[in-house]
Amino acid sequence: MTKTINVKGVKFGGNNPLALIAGPCVIESRESCMAIADKLVKLSKRQGIPLVFKASYDKANRTSINSYRGPGIAKGLEILAEIKEKYNVPVLTDVHSVEEIHIASKVVDIIQLPAFLIRQTDFVVAAGESGAVVNVKKAQFAAPWDMANVVKKIESTGNKKIMLTERGASFGYNTLVADMRSLVILREMGYPVIFDATHSVQSPGGQGDTSGGDGRFAPYLAKAAAAVGVDGLFIETHPDPAQALSDGPNMIPLKDLSSLWKKLNAIDEVK
């Protein structure tokens, strides 16, 4: 059985129900972010979904220099703090430097280590030292068993509030594939395992100066992961993915989340 991580009442791991980490890829504006949070929280209450709201204040790993990155750390954290207070929901955001860890961990409940940075020892150790819950995205270039060393770096600080997220592995150029065996291997490390359904169908840099993807496959992979057995699902969502400023092609439309979650929850109950 995996360790239980309690994030302001939302429990990941153990025998707890499937939890949801959801929100837009990036904060596009205060108004749009608040509107998405409002709909997600209402969905959570209506269907009894353990929810963590996520959004990025900066997408530091964009394909092009011209890509929209977000409002920045100061404004972004201000918006996330407002959502946290108004809706009484835990919040997650990704960080990109040791300095950002120190700042963001004072506001959000979960700091997320981007996949491309998990081999940066000082960065990973600083995340552990923050004392926050740390969600680690498994890199596209890493094998699931490679994550054991990342876990040890965080544990070396005394922090054992760790979650591990599978988001697909590189399969040739501009393509990812989700290996469901990874979920089993990651769970053997004793920490809650999350499956990132939307980034697993991403096509990194696949559109030349932007990343592409095929969001129609995300619900199928989410259901497969729920059947294998995960503790949570990471789903980026937007009212109109075609107009989203980041990762629109692989997002799940907000209007589809309710019906999808009913199926995911049913699968989780019989796994």
Strand duo 110-113 + 133-137: pairing? parallel
Place of tokens 């065996």: 181
pLDDT in tens, 106-140: 999 999 999 999 999 999 999 999 999 999 999 99
In this predicted structure, what is the pLDDT of residue 211? 63
Answer positive or negative: Cα dihedral of 44, 241, 58, 98.
positive
Say if CB 102 and CB 85 are below 8 A apart: no
CA distance 91 to 81: 8
Residue 247 phi, psi (nearest 5): 60, 25
Mean pLDDT over residues 214-231, rounded?
A: 95
Say if CB 39 and CB 47 are below 8 A apart: no
Kindly state the tokens that stand for 198: 């939307």
Distance, CA of 48 to chain centre: 20
In this predicted structure, what is the pLDDT of residue 25? 93
Asked whether the predicted pLDDT for residue 209 surpasses 80, the reply is: no
**Which percentage of the chain shows pLDDT scores above 70?**
96
At 67, is the pLDDT very low, low, confident or very high (cuts 50, 70, 90)? confident
Give the residue from 56, 70, 158 showing the smallest Cα distance to 113.
Answer: 56
pLDDT in tens, 234-256: 999 999 999 988 878 889 999 99
Find all residues with CB under 8 Å of 233, minimum gap 6, and list them: 18, 19, 20, 21, 194, 195, 196, 197, 222, 225, 226, 264
- DSSP conformational letter for 256: G
Q: Which amino acid is it at 27? A: I
Kindly state the tokens that stand for 69: 């990155």
- DSSP conformational letter for 111: E
In this predicted structure, what is the pLDDT of residue 271? 66
In this predicted structure, what is the pLDDT of residue 210? 61
Asked whether the predicted pLDDT for residue 208 surpasses 70, the reply is: no
Asked whether the predicted pLDDT for residue 62 surpasses 80, the reply is: no
Give the number of other Cβ atoms within 10 Å of residue 63's Cβ. Answer: 16
Find all residues with CB under 8 Å of 231, minimum gap 6, and list them: 2, 12, 13, 16, 18, 19, 163, 192, 193, 194
The helix/strand/coil state of 237 is strand
Kindly state the tokens that stand for 264: 């995911």
Question: What angle is formed at CA 57 by the lines to CA 51 and CA 60, rounded to 5 degrees?
Answer: 120
Say if CB 113 and CB 123 are below 8 A apart: yes
Instruction: Provide the residue ranges of all domains of the chain, joining segments of one domain with +.
Output: 5-270
Give the residue from 167, 161, 168 showing the smallest Cα distance to 190.
Answer: 161
CA distance 168 to 204: 11
Q: Would you state the CATH architecture of domain 5-270?
A: Alpha-Beta Barrel (3.20)
pLDDT in tens, 11-31: 999 999 999 999 999 999 999
Average pLDDT, the chain: 94
